[in-house]
């Protein structure tokens, strides 16, 4: 076997990075950031698969009737409640009534900030006001007593996000009043250790920055997960234990990241840096997903491979097809992972975090089936042999909220900047407006990525300006990138896994084209099961079109010798035996198999189906 194991870090049995506290090769970093983020207003998506999904999501959530979203809150308040109940998880007496309201509100505010379309601002204002009217005199704001008992911290967290963004991104002053009213209640009554309490500090720090109300700082410290979780990672030990809920514990790392940004305490950075290494090195599928059965797997036991056995991840609710497995909580998991990657890219400027962000976006949320008008949501990605994509049995689950947020956040993922340069992190048709040295620089990106391995840029500026243009050269690139400056080759260091740099005096109309050679490779599912591997093409996970296990007896270290591009439009590849592979994000109704088995002996490309 010659499948590379570079994606996996070899750990001691105890799962330690170092015998005594601290990380190995901790990247250079600072809390104020090596790279700075652009605002939603600075970036616009103009095409490509990410742009198409973002446009769909904006239309979808804008179209949900206000009265339906407010129906359950109005019923609880004893008010007239026009509209229809949303159904599913959103209903007052269901699993988590109204749990995603704040996320919908937040995504609409982000969409307004990105597009300037006043329909989003107006809808935000109507929802804020309608929700405000339903709050009880004592400040009780939940849709039902049930959710205030079962999911109080989760709901307060999401509602804080919604009201914070409504005020910060649309200027809605009533949202600030609602935020204070909810916090008046929460400060007195919110349990300090209940449901997903450990995700709260990120929003609490943000709310403090917005309001300067010191109660948010006090609560952020009370809900800090340092002793039981962050300190474990900071000391170099894996805290991703099987008893912990996967999504919320990755999401909690964003609270540690925010704590590092606010306090500058190095221990928080060590925690998130080490946790990221454990996540990508011991928990992650080729898609960038993680968390089979919404849990972490123990290290060094081959449990990630075991999770591909259908009975190990069978969903506990019966579905019509009877074969619903849960390998990765896709919209929620993508949201948490992308947010963590953005923090680490901000703190360090290290391209590896951009690589991981690209992987989980293209194979995670982009691979999700689109939201259905009745609230049906693509919740789990299924990686077992012969799987097919399905909608979650219940309507309007939590993933319907993170689907809205992660797609609204695409503008934050593409570009970054520092004092002397502009950084391109993702390859998608888009435009960024950057104010540099008192001058406005606009960079326009055109590309057919991932169908093409080339992306092109044109600069627009009124006066010449000196700065550096940095473009991420992905780790997956088969060899160093080639660069054309104004249609002529230019010699720059373009090593995979770094940002290439072109520093010069730029003029209006200057162009840059960068080509990243894409190639096929197999990635094993874990270090204990190297014969079980997924086919990758650049950042894309390719799946075999199959209704069961797929077995090959071939040289998996040289797939280009026996797997060839059949159709460039759909990126369909074909093995010598006729087996077809296609990007997971393009799969709709087809049956597919994610991991191929190379352990079976026999004829070349033998398939035991």
Q: How many residues belong to the chain?
A: 609
Label residue 584 by pLDDT band (50, 70, 90).
very high
Residue 452 has pLDDT above 70, yes or no: yes
The mean predicted confidence, pLDDT, of the chain is 92
Q: To 5 degrees, how large is the angle CA 137–CA 140–CA 141?
A: 115
Percentage of the chain lying above the pLDDT 90 cut: 88
Residue 475 has pLDDT above 80, yes or no: yes
Task: Tell me the per-residue pLDDT of 477-525, one tens digit each, with 9 for 90 and over.
Answer: 988 999 999 999 999 999 999 999 999 999 999 999 999 999 999 999 9
DSSP per-residue codes, 213-247? -HHHHHHHHHT--IIIIIHHHHTTB----TTSBHH
Q: Answer whether 535's CB lies under 8 Å from 596's CB.
A: yes
Residues whose CB is less than 8 angstroms from the CB of residue 514 and which lie 6 or more positions away in sequence, other chains included: 454, 455, 456, 471, 473, 481, 482, 483, 484, 494, 500
Query: Which pLDDT does position 326 carry in this prediction?
Result: 85
Query: Which pLDDT does position 11 carry in this prediction?
Result: 46
Burial classification of residue 418, based on how many CB atoms lie within 10 Å of its CB (0-12 exposed, 13-18 middle, 19 or more buried):
middle
Query: Which pLDDT does position 8 carry in this prediction?
Result: 53
Task: Tell me the per-residue pLDDT of 209-230, one tens digit each, with 9 for 90 and over.
Answer: 999 999 999 999 999 999 999 9
Q: How large is the average pLDDT for residues 46-57? A: 98
DSSP 325: B
Query: Which pLDDT does position 437 carry in this prediction?
Result: 86
Q: How large is the average pLDDT for residues 103-114? A: 98
Q: Comparing 161 with 608, which gets the higher pLDDT?
A: 161
Task: Tell me the per-residue pLDDT of 342-365, one tens digit each, with 9 for 90 and over.
Answer: 999 999 999 999 999 999 999 999
Task: Tell me the per-residue pLDDT of 402-430, one tens digit each, with 9 for 90 and over.
Answer: 999 999 999 999 999 999 999 999 999 99
Residue 336 has pLDDT above 90, yes or no: yes
Q: How large is the average pLDDT for residues 283-287? A: 98
Residue 15 has pLDDT above 60, yes or no: no
Q: Answer whether 142's CB lies under 8 Å from 72's CB.
A: no
Query: Which pLDDT does position 21 carry in this prediction?
Result: 39
Task: Tell me the per-residue pLDDT of 156-207, one tens digit each, with 9 for 90 and over.
Answer: 999 999 999 999 999 999 999 999 999 999 999 999 999 999 999 999 999 9
Label residue 316 by pLDDT band (50, 70, 90).
very low
Prediction pTM value: 0.94
Q: How large is the average pLDDT for residues 231-248? A: 97
Label residue 605 by pLDDT band (50, 70, 90).
very low
Residue 314 has pLDDT above 70, yes or no: no
Query: Which pLDDT does position 323 carry in this prediction?
Result: 61
Q: Comparing 596 with 604, which gets the higher pLDDT?
A: 596
Query: Which pLDDT does position 318 carry in this prediction?
Result: 47
Query: Which pLDDT does position 543 carry in this prediction?
Result: 98
Which residue is associated with the tokens 């900047």? 417
Q: Answer whether 155's CB lies under 8 Å from 98's CB.
A: yes
Label residue 309 by pLDDT band (50, 70, 90).
confident
Residue 277 has pLDDT above 90, yes or no: yes
Q: Answer whether 469's CB lies under 8 Å from 514's CB.
A: no
Identify the CA nearest to 379 among candidates 334, 342, 339, 336: 334
Label residue 153 by pLDDT band (50, 70, 90).
very high
- Element (H or E) spanning 345, and its range? helix 330-348
Query: Which pLDDT does position 18 carry in this prediction?
Result: 46
Query: Which pLDDT does position 478 carry in this prediction?
Result: 87
Q: How large is the average pLDDT for residues 309-319? A: 57
- The CB-side HSE value for 125 (13 A sphere, CA atoms) comes to 10
Query: Which pLDDT does position 324 carry in this prediction?
Result: 66
Residue 143 has pLDDT above 90, yes or no: yes
Q: Comparing 5 with 541, which gets the higher pLDDT?
A: 541
Label residue 13 by pLDDT band (50, 70, 90).
very low
Residue 469 has pLDDT above 70, yes or no: yes
């Amino acid at each position: 076997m010659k499948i590379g194991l570079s994606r996996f870090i070899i750990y001691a049995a105890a799962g330690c990075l170092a015998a005594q506290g601290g990380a190995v090769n901790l990247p250079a970093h600072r809390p104020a950031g090596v790279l700075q983020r652009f605002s939603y207003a600075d970036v616009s998506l103009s095409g490509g698969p990410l742009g198409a999904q973002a446009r769909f999501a904006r239309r979808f959530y804008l179209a949900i009737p206000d009265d339906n979203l407010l129906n359950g809150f109005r019923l609880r308040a004893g008010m007239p409640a026009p509209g229809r109940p949303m159904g599913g998880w959103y209903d007052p007496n269901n699993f988590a009534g109204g749990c995603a309201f704040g996320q919908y509100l937040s995504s609409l505010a982000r969409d307004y900030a990105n597009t300037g379309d006043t329909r989003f601002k107006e809808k935000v204002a109507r929802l804020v006001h309608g929700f405000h009217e339903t709050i009880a005199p004592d400040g009780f704001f939940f849709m039902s007593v049930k959710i205030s008992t079962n999911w109080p911290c989760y709901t307060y967290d999401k509602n804080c996000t919604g009201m914070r963004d409504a005020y910060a991104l649309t200027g809605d002053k009533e949202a600030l009043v609602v935020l204070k009213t909810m916090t008046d209640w929460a400060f007195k009554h919110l349990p300090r250790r209940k449901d997903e309490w450990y995700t709260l500090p990120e929003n609490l720090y943000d709310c403090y920055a917005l309001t300067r109300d010191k109660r948010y700082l006090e609560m952020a410290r009370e809900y800090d997960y340092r002793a039981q979780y962050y300190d474990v990672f900071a000391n170099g030990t894996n805290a991703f234990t099987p008893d912990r809920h996967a999504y919320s514990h990755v999401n909690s790392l964003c609270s540690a990241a925010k704590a590092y940004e606010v306090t500058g305490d190095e221990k928080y950075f060590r925690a998130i840096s080490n946790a990221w290494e454990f996540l990508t090195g011991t928990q992650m599928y080729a898609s960038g997903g993680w968390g089979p059965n919404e849990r972490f797997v123990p290290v060094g036991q081959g449990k990630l491979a075991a999770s591909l056995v259908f009975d190990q991840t069978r969903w506990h609710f019966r579905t019509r097809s009877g074969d619903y497995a849960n390998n990765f909580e896709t919209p929620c998991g993508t949201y948490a992972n992308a947010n963590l990657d953005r923090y680490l890219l901000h703190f360090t400027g290290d391209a590896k975090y951009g690589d991981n962000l690209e992987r989980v976006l293209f194979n995670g949320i982009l691979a999700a089936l689109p939201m259905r008008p009745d609230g049906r949501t693509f919740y789990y990605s299924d990686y077992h042999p012969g799987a097919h994509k399905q909608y979650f049995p219940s309507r309007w689950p939590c993933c319907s909220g993170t689907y809205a947020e992660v797609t609204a956040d695409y503008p934050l993922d593409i570009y970054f900047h520092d004092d002397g340069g502009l950084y391109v992190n993702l390859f998608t048709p888009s435009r960024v407006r950057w104010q540099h040295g008192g001058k406005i620089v606009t960079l326009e990106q055109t590309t057919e990525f991932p169908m093409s391995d080339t992306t092109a840029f044109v600069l627009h500026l009124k006066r010449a300006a000196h700065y550096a243009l940095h473009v991420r050269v992905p780790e997956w690139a088969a060899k160093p990138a080639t660069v054309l400056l104004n249609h002529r080759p230019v010699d720059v260091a373009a090593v995979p896994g770094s940002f290439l740099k072109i520093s010069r005096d730029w003029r209006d109309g200057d162009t840059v084209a960068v080509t990243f050679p894409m190639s096929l490779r197999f990635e094993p599912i874990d270090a204990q099961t190297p014969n079980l591997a997924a086919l990758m093409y650049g950042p894309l996970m390719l799946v075999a079109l199959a209704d069961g296990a797929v077995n090959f007896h071939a040289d998996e270290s040289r797939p280009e010798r026996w797997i060839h591009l059949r159709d460039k439009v759909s990126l369909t590849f074909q093995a010598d035996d006729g087996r077809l592979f296609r990007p997971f994000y393009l799969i709709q109704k087809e049956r597919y198999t994610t991991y191929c088995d190379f352990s079976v002996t026999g004829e070349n490309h033998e398939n035991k189906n």
